[in-house]
Amino acid sequence: MLKKCIAVAAIFFAAAAVNAQEKPVYLDDSKPLNLRVEDALQRMTLEEKIAFIHAQSKFSAPGVPRLGIPEVWTTDGPHGIRPEVKWDEWDQAGWTNDRCTAFPALTCLAATWNKDMSSLYGKSIGEEARFRNKNILLGPGVNIYRSPLNGRNFEYMGEDPFLAGQMVVPYIKGVQSNGVAACVKHFALNNQETNRNTVNVVVDDRALYEIYLPAFKAAVQQGGAWSIMGSYNKYKGQQNCHNQYLLNDILKGEWGFEGVVVSDWGGVHDGMQPIFNGLDLEFGTWTDGLNTGNTNAYDNYYLAKPYLDKIKSGKVGTKELDDKVRRVLRLCFLTTLDRNRPYGSFATPEHALAGRKIAEEGIVLLQNNNNLLPIDLNKTKRIAVIGENAIKAMTVGGGSSSLKANYEVSPLDGIKNIVGNKAEVVYARGYVGDPNSNYNGVVFGADLTEKRPAEELLAEAVKLAKSADIVIFVGGLNKSPYQDDEGYDRKEYALPYNQDKVVSELAKANKNLVFVNISGNAVAMPWVKQVPAIVQGWYLGTETGNALARVLVGDVNPSGKLPFTFPVSLADNPAKAVGEFPGGDEVHYTEGIFVGYRYADKQNIKPLFPFGHGLSYTSFSYGKVSVDKSKVNADDKVTFSVKVKNTGKRDGAEIVQLYISDLKSSLTRPVKELKGFEKVYLKAGEEKTVSITVDKEALSYFDDKKHAWVAEPGDFEAIIGASSADVKNKVKFTLK
Ligand code: GLC
């Protein structure tokens, strides 16, 4: 007994002694961040510093156990928290507590044109990452939509750098408010999946600075992103995960980025460049030297033992190492070592509701002839739902953004839920696309095996369509290879699986036909004149069916607008018509700054549906736009105001777009460029004045000779539009 008392006493005094010591600076959160970083840095051994800057497992790095600096855990992806994989494998760990909320794809978020939805999205997904103890979320992605064939467009925010930049900032802040770092990707020029690991992008400086960089610049300078992910491809012949031009000169030099550059998984290919060209944290390296990782070969990483050996042999110094370590330490102090950060939450009803709200605000009503929509359930007795995408799970698949959702309401179930016993809902497959619904070991959703031949499926669908008051065809793309899927580009612009034939036959069978396009990309619609109503449905996540159904029956008035152009055919897409896509070892962005609507305006091409287009179940009228000063000094802000009225019978929201046109410029410029937008909510009959303020940045172009942004004095025009092609009115002003 006596011995026990002595032992307890000894521990007590030892503990008291420790407490009496001054708390080390790096653990004292009353001290400034950079002092804590320096204190931790000088306590670390060389070996600890080397271990600190590369992976120890598929998705984690070791931290500094001896100093109590926790491991760094990364997680995919931009739409939800990826299910756990094994320590060193892509295979599922088979955990039972990692079924997440699947949020809508980022094309849908962009289509809301609503920064509040972006904040809600970032906060919610950040809470899920936090709860799962991840401190780097590998998202969002903001690569520009250059071609409708890019397999990963669904993960990004459209064709316009201003829209993508404005919409990514609140997402980043929302994520980081949880003490989780956003990792904005893929920096930069990753606009295709073909040859993504090696393709060298050739692009002029004006297109680089005016089109492909702005969303990343906004993420860093306005969003304060704590990390950025280098992309797989090359620029100027260097791999972008260790690219002097992009990472050192631009990101860290011109933009002053103080965060961490994380490699893409397998994006590091060189022994020396990662040391000097701006990489800070190495993941997923192919340690077999070819294209896969040898098992648990983390010591073979370029920034592991090879780097340590170079330092020990005196071949390289430690200045670059300390800079990398400082950056990762800073991220740790902002995340795992921030004792005041919230605890997060996971797969909650609140997050599902958040996802549904974002989905409802992002769905775009593309066409609604004879006001076929919304469906009037008092008059409609029989609804025929046709198409594989009415029953196919879309939260699984598509590559690294694939999820193990806690649930996913299919479009068919959503329609059945909302219709209840007010009408009969009948279903036919119509065609077979991809019966698999699994990715990386996650099997999710209905069993879609189908033995019947195509003719029989079509005949069944047509018969059903003839018997219904209204037909809802739910088709489009899916998350399978060569559709909307990482690692592959689409092979064609047309809908796959012979859907055009099915839609055309249904249109003959019943004129009351609605086409719901579930996709993250534009598609050809040769039957557009035969189908009165067309809805862009996106990938909507956990609450897909409920969001879609609420729009279709009018419980929600659609208010989304397109974040990218729907060309009539691929020939109208500049990447195909002028540039190269996907190119070979090199890809030339010969179209330069004329991406998306910028090209349509230049060539006077009428798209199938233009950038910024989206209808409502109500209507809006616009007054004349006014400007607060017709003569603008270089440092002035200038405000444009326009009255918008809801002239219909039901409440709705309108997205007012401000485009700037430089009427005379030394360098060629697009006819107009988006430089402001405001989503305004109006009750039936209500009128509000919408004001949008811009500064000289909105008037500037990038002068590649001067390597500087220039706002050139002269005449400009502010153009107010309900889309890039629906100009309401304009006002001239002069920059002095
Ligand atoms: C993938 C993707 C990247 C993802 C990473 C980890 O290849 O390019 O977006 O975050 O590897 O899965």
- The residue annotated as part of the active site, out of 98, 160, 264, 572, is 264
Instruction: Tell me the average pLDDT of the chain.
Output: 97
Please tell me the distance from the alpha carbon of residue 524 to that of residue 571, in angstroms, as a whole number: 11
Tell me the whole-structure pTM to 2 decimals: 0.97
Helix (H, G, I), strand (E, B) or coil at 627: strand
- In DSSP notation, 358-402 reads HHHHH-EEEEEGGG-PSP-TTT--EEEEESGGGT---SS-SSTT-
Could you tell me the CA-to-CA distances from 711 to 109, 207, 662, 677 in Å, in that order?
31, 17, 10, 21
Ligand 1 center to 540 CA (angstroms) = 21
What is the pLDDT at residue 14?
Answer: 61
Q: Judge whether 83 and 395 are in contact, CB under 8 Å.
A: no
- Nearest-CA residue for atom 9 of ligand 1: 400
Residues 393-402: what's their mean pLDDT? 98
pLDDT band at 267 (very low <50, low <70, confident <90, very high): very high
pLDDT (tens digit, 9 = 90+) per residue, 442-471? 999 889 999 999 999 999 999 999 999 999
**H or E element at residue 186:** strand 181-187
Query: Is the per-residue pLDDT at 210 higher than 70?
Result: yes
Q: Are 724 and 685 in contact (CB under 8 A)?
A: no
Q: What is the pLDDT of residue 120?
A: 99
Read off the pLDDT band of 16 (50, 70, 90).
low
Q: Please give the span between the terminal C-alpha atoms of the chain, in angstroms, as a whole number.
A: 91
**H or E segment and range at residue 305:** helix 305-312
Rounded to whole angstroms, how far apart are CA atoms 443 and 83? Answer: 12
What is d(CA 195, CA 584) in angstroms, rounded to the nearest whole number? 7
The alpha carbon torsion through 298, 302, 303, 308 (nearest 10 deg) reads: 90
Q: Is 88 helix (H, G, I), strand (E, B) or coil?
A: coil
**CA-proximal residue: ligand 1, atom 12 (nearest):** 400
Tell me the pLDDT tens digit for each residue of 558-607. 999 999 999 999 999 999 999 999 999 999 999 999 999 999 999 999 99
Quick check: CB of 265 below 6 Å from ligand 1? Answer: yes
How many percent of the chain have pLDDT more than 90? 95
| Per-residue pLDDT band at 153 (split at 50, 70, 90) | very high
- Residue 18, pLDDT above cutoff 60: no
- pLDDT score of 484 more than 60: yes
Q: Which of 568, 609, 199 is nearest to 576 (CA)?
A: 568
With beta carbons less than 8 A apart as the criterion, state whether 434 and 567 touch. no
Q: Say how many C-beta atoms besides its own lie within 10 A of residue 686's C-beta.
A: 14
Buried b (16+ CB within 10 A) or exposed e, 230-267: bbbbbbeebbbbbbbbbbbebbbeebebebbbbbbbbb
**Secondary structure of residue 491 in the 3-state scheme:** coil
Cβ(183) to ligand 1 under 6 A?
no
Best mutation site among 150, 227, 486, 488 for ligand 1 pocket (most ligand atoms within 8 Å of CB): 486
> Is residue 396 within 6 Å of ligand 1 at its C-beta?
no
Phi and psi of 218, rounded to 5°? -65, -40
d(CA 246, CA 31): 33
Task: Spell out the residues 6+ positions from residue 578 whose beta carbon is closer than 8 angstroms to its own.
Answer: 590, 591, 594, 599
Q: What is the pLDDT of residues 281-300, one digit of tens each?
A: 999 999 997 888 899 999 99
Question: Cβ distance 660 to 732 under 8 Å?
Answer: no
> At 108, which helix (H) or strand (E)?
helix 106-112
Q: What is the pLDDT of residue 65?
A: 98
Q: Which helix (H) or strand (E) holds 693?
A: strand 687-694
**Letter for the amino acid at 96?**
T
Residue the block writes with tokens 């699986």: 497
CB 102 within 8 A of CB 82: no
How high is the pLDDT of residue 13? 67
Q: Is the dihedral of CA 197, 200, 202, 205 positive or negative?
A: positive
The model's confidence at residue 654, banded by pLDDT at 50, 70 and 90, is very high
Q: Indicate the top mutation candidate among 73, 74, 75, 76 to test ligand 1's pocket, ranked by most ligand atoms within 8 A of CB.
A: 76
Helix, strand and coil content of the chain, in percent to the nearest 5, comes to 30, 20, 50
522-547 pLDDT, tens digit each = 999 999 999 999 999 999 999 999 99
- What is the arithmetic mean of pLDDT over 22-51? 96
User: Is pLDDT of 216 > 80?
Assistant: yes
Q: Which atom of ligand 1 is nearest to the CA of 155?
A: 9
Please tell me the predicted confidence (pLDDT) of residue 399. 97
CA 521 to chain centre: 13
- Helix (H, G, I), strand (E, B), or coil: what is residue 164? helix
Cα separation, 36 vs 25, in Å, equals: 6
Distance CA 701, CA 210 (A): 7
Tracing tokens 């996540």 back to the chain, one arrives at 541
Cβ 654 vs Cβ 690: under 8 Å:
no
pLDDT (0 to 100) of residue 363:
99
Q: Which residues contact 653 (CB under 8 A, 6 or more apart)?
A: 361, 557, 559, 616, 679, 680, 681, 682
17, pLDDT greater than 90: no
- Please state, in angstroms and as integers, the Cα–Cα distance from residue 154 to each residue in 401, 539, 572, following that order: 10, 8, 20
**Who contacts 440 (Cβ-Cβ below 8 Å, separation ≥6)?**
85, 90, 91, 92, 402
- 419 Cα to the center of ligand 1, angstroms: 40
Find out whether the beta carbon of 76 lies less than 6 Å from any atom of ligand 1: yes
Which residue CA neighbors atom 11 of ligand 1 most closely?
Answer: 265
**Please, what sign has the CA dihedral across residues 383, 388, 391, 393?**
negative
Q: What is the DSSP string of 53-74?
A: TB-SSSSEE--BGGGTBPPEEE
Q: Name the closest-CA residue to atom 5, ligand 1.
A: 265
Distance CA 98, CA 96 (A): 6
Domains, the chain, with CATH or none: 73-326 (3.20.20.300), 351-598 (3.40.50.1700), 619-735 (2.60.40.10)
Helix (H, G, I), strand (E, B) or coil at 173: helix
Q: In angstroms, what CA-CA distances link 470 with 173, 421, 552, 709?
A: 43, 16, 11, 54
Token pair, residue 538, equals 């996106």
**pLDDT tens digits, 408-441:** 999 999 999 999 999 999 999 999 999 998 898 9
What is the reported pLDDT for 19?
56
pLDDT at 521: 98
Is residue 663 exposed (0-12), middle (13-18) or buried (19+ Cβ within 10 Å)? exposed
CB 593 within 8 Å of CB 206: yes
Q: Which of 291-300, 345-354, 475-484, 562-571 shows the lowest mean pLDDT across its residues?
A: 291-300
Query: Which atom number of ligand 1 is nearest to the Cα of residue 139?
Result: 10
Contact 622, 644 (CB under 8 A): yes
Q: Is 264 one of the catalytic residues? A: yes
96-118 pLDDT per residue, tens: 999 999 999 999 999 999 999 99
CB 151 within 8 A of CB 486: yes
Query: Which pLDDT does position 146 carry in this prediction?
Result: 98
